[in-house]
Structure 1
Amino acid sequence: MDKHIIFEDDHIRVIWMPGHSEALIFSFGDLITRAKGLTINAEKSLSKHGYNVVGIMPKEKSWFPEQSMRAMLNEIAATIAPFQQRIGYGGSMGGYAAIKYSNLLDLQRVVALVPQYSIDPEDILDTRYNMFFHPQHNADMRIQPQDVSAEREYIVIYDPHYAEDRAQYLKLQAVLPSLQTLHLPFTGHDAIAVLASSDLLNDFLSHPFDPAHFYQKMRQVKKNSKFYYRKLIENLLPRHKHALGQILKNNELQLDSGFFDAKLKQNLIRSLLSNKQVDQHDLHKLGIQFNLPQESRRQLMDCFGHGLVFNVISQKIESYAASAVALNHKFLIPIYAKGNGLVQIWLNDQRYIVAMNDRQVMKLFQEQDELSAGMHPIVIKKYSDYYVLSYKQLNLSSDEFGGNEFVDDSPESAKFVTQPEVVL
């Protein structure tokens, strides 16, 4: 028998996927893995291990309203009746549902990754999800003693350092009578992506609870998870900058160029270059490709004493201390002024102009090249004792941390002076 829908209403779509296991898995979707055709949450992994599965997929961001779940149970009672061993699995919104309806579905084990206790602002303040609370559909939705039982095993995986999920966990801890906890530090709310592994999921569903065994398996999965390293880097960046270089040196990563968003990539590059932690090979591990430029000679200085440069890795105009520019002069190209004109740099013995569009995306063009649609050169304006870099009506302004942005004003931080010529 093929997969097919066995119940559906305005909030959920329930799909039956037959297998050959003795256990029946209730797999709950989340905000991302919502109802789409006959797709089931964690379908590939569950199918690989031959599980019989009831896939309960949300059609709305409605946290599996109780009226829908009770209507579903009435409809599918005959289908699930033969199965005495029942296990619930889900993450976030799906983890909430697996716990909330564990008594209703007679689950022996529940595996919940970063679950919620409630999204009702009267129960808990969680700005991520309070907006989705609907009094009509989610009335009295918090997980209560009558929803759970000491006869059932509850396994919760979460990041204890992530404040929002920790607050939800503490509420769950107070109501769950037989809670087993596995910590996944520095992953935020991305446990589902970090722990994506069919073998690990199979262990969560079938192996007797053994923290040492699960932590060993989780470490193996994390070491091969790009999502884990991204979350780890995001968390380390503000607090433990010197650890970032060690992550790159000690792990064979090979990320694609779109793995980090633009803001995180720029902050990551700034931290690594400022601390001289990486070489070209390490940056390639992060999916950061670039051409090495020729050394330059002089630069403009901002009002904080930082040198103005074009960063060929991030493709941005930035400011760095002289020591950082000296250490990383092959990546950080000083910008110099000869009077009124265009912002130019020397790269591989070629002169380039720096152009930008209205989304503040910068790009280099050789002098003889045609500009792409929407791109405009950045202009240097010379005044009696300072320079201004302008894009249309906007002026480049620096902050004390080396950040630069174009603003619709002319503050003191938008005035640059010329540094005496220095050979690097």
Structure 2
Amino acid sequence: MKLLYWLDEWLTHSRSEQQQMLPMSGDDLLDDVFVKYEFVDLNKPLLFTFSPAGTNVQEQDLHPDFAPWGYHLAQKQKVNIIAFQHLGKSNWFRSRNLIFFLEQLSTLLEPFECKLGYGLSRGGFAIGAFAKLLKLDQVLLFHPVSTKNKDLVPWDDRSSTDLAQQFDWQGDYHDLDLGDAKGYIIYDPTNHIDRMHAKRYPQLTHLRVFGMGHGTHASYLNKFGFYKQVAVDFLQHQQIDIAQFRQQTKTLRFKEDYYQSLNKANANSMHRLGLLSKAHNILIDEKEAHVQEHQAQIDVQPLIEIALKHQDEFPQDAIQLLEVAQQLVPDDPLVEHKLKQLT
């Protein structure tokens, strides 16, 4: 627990001296959780991340350059980071050693005036469970999981819930406890279990994306850099531009795999499948004519601005956003010019 000792000594210095002692980085192994941290600037936010399911790392996979989920994102945005990576497939951050570490850590972070949490699915559970303890100010959660305590969420019948019962879901930090944290929770309202978990976060702003499903790497959203862009805005501004967010998700209606994802999410409802099929067929028949008729009215400027803003850090994501813009306004000279530059 090298970090705890360092912070304890660091706190004995004045704020200007603390700033001069940065940057500082290191890592620790806490039972079945690896933690890596980097402090770069007292005036920047301190971000906490916990890894989602699907990032299944074993202890033998760790090496000096290994970066937990979210670590590189924080580095690129030049914010302070403490990133927790679970080891093994079924791991819900329930280790007593980890909890003791977090309890000690929470008393040593006073110099950081802005503390953020970012997590997907399993990682989002950990952000919600430890938010009050860590005194988080803002959180960003995708694919909500509030707890795996069956008494609290009897409707969560996923296989992951049964696997999670090997851990203690009655002790401390087994359920969401946001404290004073505000922020955003993003989910697919057609996913019944996600929707029910999201209802347990009434103090957060709910942003719904139909058809995004539940998972750490929803294909078409990841393809357009959706997660990255939302997270970058959150880190830079501690808020999300909701109008821009809705503009991004609105473009999904032009993608075939959007309807495929919606069909999968509503597989058990013949009524919804019928409505989706009708909507999809109408779109196929009218899409080309609609775009031609209204392309002068379609505002792709938000897409272009996002692409230009992040073309250096995420060139492939910028290209994909510009390609979507080009579908909507095929003759736009700026879009064509930027695509030629990036490709």
Name the TM-score, length of structure 1 as normaliser.
0.49
- 2:51 equivalent to 1:29: yes
- CA apart distance, 1:158: 1.0
1:53 Cα offset (Å): 1.1
Q: Is the 8 A contact 2:25 2:39 kept in 1?
A: yes
The superposition leaves residues 338-368 of structure 1 with CA deviations (integer Å, 9 ceiling, x where unpaired) of: xxxxxxxxxxxxxxxxxxxxxxxxxxxxxxx
> Which deviations, in whole Å up to 9, do the C-alpha atoms of 1:354-412 show, x marking residues without a partner?
xxxxxxxxxxxxxxxxxxxxxxxxxxxxxxxxxxxxxxxxxxxxxxxxxxxxxxxxxxx
1:52 aligns with 2:92: no
Partner Cα separation in structure 2 for residue 81 and residue 112 of structure 1: 24
Which of 175, 185, 206 lines up with 1:143 in the alignment? 175
CA distance in 1, matches of 2:254, 2:79: 25
How do 1:15-164 residues align onto structure 2 when only pairs under 5 Å count?
A: 15-20=36-41, 22-35=44-57, 37=62, 38-60=66-88, 61-65=90-94, 67-73=96-102, 76=105, 80-125=109-154, 126-128=156-158, 129-134=160-165, 136-140=167-171, 142-143=174-175, 147-149=177-179, 151-164=180-193
How do residues 329-348 of structure 1 correspond to structure 2 at under 5 angstroms?
none
After TM superposition, list the pairs within 5 Å mapping 1:205-216 onto structure 2.
205-207=235-237, 209=239, 212-213=242-243, 215-216=245-246
Larger radius of gyration: 1
Q: Look up the SS of the partner of 1:102 in the other structure.
A: helix
Give how far 1:114 is off. 1.6
Aligned length: 244
Give SS of 2:232's match.
Answer: helix
* 1:241 paired to 2:255: no
Specify whether residues 217 and 99 from structure 1 end up closer, same or farther in structure 2 by C-alpha distance, changes over 3 A only: farther
Determine the C-alpha separation between the residues in 2 that align with 1:225 and 1:111: 26
Q: In percent, how many aligned pairs have the same letter?
A: 19
Asked if structure 1 preserves the Cα contact closer than 8 Å seen for 2:233 and 2:240, the reply is no
CA shift in 2, pair 1:202/1:242, >3 Å: same
**2:108, 2:247 → 1: CA distance?**
33
Kept after mapping to 2: 8 A contact 1:116/1:168: yes
**Structure 2: 5+ residue runs without aligned partners?**
1-22, 268-272, 292-343
Secondary structure of 2:168's partner? coil
Aligned with residue 219 of structure 1, among 237, 246, 249: 249
Q: CA RMSD in A?
A: 3.5
Structure 1 residue matching 2:123: 3-state secondary structure: helix
**Deviation per CA, 1:48-78, whole angstroms, max 9, x where unpaired?**
2112211111114232116244322256569
Distance 1:81 1:15, change over 3 A: farther
2:31 matches 1:10: yes
Q: Distance in 1 between matches of 2:124 and 2:83?
A: 13
- Report the CA distance between 1:212 and its aligned residue: 3.5
Cα deviation, 1:137-178, whole Å, max 9, x if unaligned, reads 33345425xx332x32142111112111112222x14xx5x2
Please tell me the residue identity of whatever aligns with 1:55: A
| TM-aligned CA distance change 1:213 to 1:79, over 3 Å | farther
Describe the SS at the equivalent of 1:112. Answer: strand
Q: Confirm or deny that 1:182 pairs with 2:210.
A: no
Letter in 2 for 1:84: E
1:54 and 1:164 mapped to 2: Cα distance? Answer: 29
- Counting only pairs closer than 5 Å after superposition, residues 290-369 of structure 1 correspond to structure 2 as none
Give the counterpart letter for 1:32 in structure 2: G
Larger strand share, 1 or 2: 1
Which letter does structure 2 place at the counterpart of 1:10? D
Aligned residue identity for 1:241: S
Q: Choose between structure 1 and 2 for higher RCO, CA contacts under 8 A separated by at least 6 residues.
A: 2
1:208–1:31 CA distance, 2 compared to 1 (3 A):
closer
Displacement of 1:136: 4.7
Aligned to 1:383: none
- Indicate the residue corresponding to 2:298 in structure 1: none
Q: Give the gaps of 5 or more residues in structure 1.
A: 253-424
Q: 1:72 to 1:248 in 2, by over 3 A?
A: farther
1:21-53 CA deviation, whole Å, 9 max, x = no partner? 610110111111244532222344333211221
- Match of 2:232? 202
SS at match of 1:131: helix
Q: TM-score, normalised by structure 2?
A: 0.59
